[in-house]
Structure 1
């Protein structure tokens, strides 16, 4: 890896824009095939989002990953890439270089070392071995296509000098809009527009949701409270923890469904998805009718949450005194708690971007642009958005592999 600009780059097979998951995998796979590529990275180091993923531990794939775990205007588009590079390919690749996986929640694989730096090191070491240069602090200012391929104008951010580099092919793996403080930009989208490529609507995904208005204080007082729940809308449901925050709702189940949520829609939350709260109340009150509803609920929820339910439920009544109407209200609130989010926390807090380069513009088999031969798009900037838990990495590895086979 180098942060130093050589006097010239010659005999390049391709230039890769972005040394993230997709770009790094593409460079390494190109190296296996004897192809020489140059990676340009705007950040000071490669793999910035890899390093922060999974709390710095990097859930690098998901054992259950398939095209069904991805959102796209064309739900079939990713099938080809996932057939060419499977989850087992990812597992085997990392095991070859000493990274073994440990399964956590719902198929997520983390390295046994629990250190994302080890994932990045695999790629940077291999790039060194293959002679694939990574130039950091490199901002691409312009991409032009000509009869020989592409000519790039690139600024060295450490010296402010501008360089011109040419290659027959260009791979755009610059990611999406989330986490701008880590260097995320709309570069891929701007480039697509420059070449008159269609885009699907973009939005933050895997993102916390906000609650405002008269209910805000109620959510705020519960900040830090986590409850295993089933969160649903008309499209899909997820069973994982939700987390109350001072701005609204977060936690795995909320992040998951946020990718399917649209402004103005309501979400239904089952706060006790594995059993019927009414059945358990009926059973309890035959044995201990004098027990207060609050005491009963504290078997399943924190005292803070039960106290907050006082606004909606008669928690100071004993179980024997609960009326039919009381029971109906309890069932409605616990199993069909409804929230209408005001919005989301935006790209600063989103893990990925939904939407991007319209898949109709790309070959599903090669990820090459149909209109602009030699121009490829991979990773997050394409309209393929995965669930939470390693799925988006699997798409990044797969798309990087596919592109490398075709440059």
Structure 2
């Protein structure tokens, strides 16, 4: 077995957290080895935001995260702020532009620029980056060091370090090398795991309503989507298997199997008010014509399954008016499930934050063992929040190793 030289830290995972950790450690004169399973670093960075990389959100706070203890995030963000992220990338020639809702993208609209910046910094600070390296195990040695065994280009190798950083991500997306390595390692060392599930994921509709949703595939509507815990206002997208789009991805992190979600299909208007105004104007228009001011013809026609769309407004009774309002403002859906890890943006749950020191992200039970990024129970909303957590956790760990 080939044995590498000793490092200050071995970082498992060359994604957002791992790359930031290696760079920041290098700035402090530490020598790290990054072990990345893929044939290139930053695989998920490259596909994020449709290849444009929504690398932070200007409004980031603990309120934008799902966790058993979301307030934990504020302690990490106090040490690496959004302003720090913006300044860091500006120093690398990456200027941000806000698209909407605080979402910041590179002016170039290229995620490749982000990965290239890290590649340059890794090289500049003399950090070792081994691609095509699948980590097999992490073990504590009698002298208090860590020994990491991994396979690199068909050869079994080992490396030793005073610290190990687990930044290997979560279970989405298998084709990008996703695995449960971080969870297995945490369990190996006796750390608690918050149950995991796909998050920021489309929701599937089956049963008697499946055909109705499928018939609307491709239709996008601005809505308010809510459950008992939270609501989001953004577009939903009808698909041939159910619902997707930003609002659905957001609510999915708060949805649990068996629950319903309520969709307000016209959140900034009152359909009752619109019907009343039409009545006062004579009520000669059809219900379909009123709805046509807001929706595609295909969606209006689909409403015919539930509503009297071919009835004149003047002829609507109280029961029909109430049914229209209930359908438009409270369209209740009970998803059959989510579309799984391969369609999910991130994983919900992970290594319990109460197991980690908020100042360092070191495991309280195991000196020298750190966890950062997606494998930790800190799941951000859609829109750059998860990247901000990745950069911040990578920075905080780098200050301690």
Residue 105 (structure 2) pairs with residue 115 (structure 1):
no
CA deviations 1:78-106 (Å, max 9, x no partner) are 11110000000000000011100110121
1:346-397 superposed Cα distances (whole Å, 9 cap, x missing partner): 0010000000001121111110011110000000000000000000000000
Which of 265, 271, 284 in structure 1 is aligned with 2:265?
271
Alpha-carbon RMSD across the aligned residues, in angstroms, is 1.1
Tell me the CA shift for residue 340 of structure 1. 0.5
Q: Which residue of 2 aligns with 1:3?
A: none
Q: For 2:365 and 2:311, how far apart are their aligned partners in 1?
A: 69
TM-score, scaled to structure 2: 0.98
What is the CA–CA distance in structure 1 between the aligned matches of 2:342 and 2:218, rounded to whole Å? 20
Q: 1:259 aligns with which of 245, 250, 253?
A: 253
State the match for 1:17 in structure 2. 12
Shift of 1:77: 1.1
In structure 2, distance between residues paired with 1:288 and 1:250 = 39
Alignment of structure 1 residues 5-404 onto 2, 5 Å: 9-146=4-141, 147-156=143-152, 158=153, 160-404=154-398
Whether the aligned pair in 1 keeps the contact of 2:4 and 2:158 (CA below 8 Å) is no
Separation (CA, whole Å) in 2 of partners of 1:75 and 1:93: 25
Give TM-score, length-normalised by structure 1: 0.97
The SS at the match of 2:347 is strand
Structure 1 residue 282: deviation in Å?
Answer: 1.3
1:30 Cα deviation after fit: 0.5
In 1, Cα distance between equivalents of 2:187 and 2:104: 36
SS of residue paired to 2:122? helix
Q: Give distance in 2, aligned partners of 1:119 and 1:142.
A: 30
3-state DSSP class of the match of 1:331? Answer: helix
Shift of 1:9: 3.8
Q: Please list the CA deviations of residues 51-99 of structure 1 after superposition, one character each: whole Å capped at 9, or x if unmatched.
A: 0000000000000011110011012111111000000000000001110
* Contact 2:4–2:157 under 8 Å retained in 1: no
Q: Which moved more, 1:44-53 or 1:11-20?
A: 11-20
Indicate the SS of the match to 1:120: helix
SS of match in other structure, 1:230: strand
- Cα distance between partner residues in 1 of 2:3 and 2:253: 44
Aligned length: 400
- Partners of 1:296 and 1:236 lie apart in 2 by 30
Structure 1: segments with no counterpart, 5+ residues: 1-6
**Residue 288 of structure 1, CA deviation:** 4.5
Is the Cα contact below 8 Å between 1:285 and 1:291 reproduced in 2? no
Residue 116 of structure 2 aligns to a residue in which SS?
A: helix
- Displacement, 1:259? 0.2
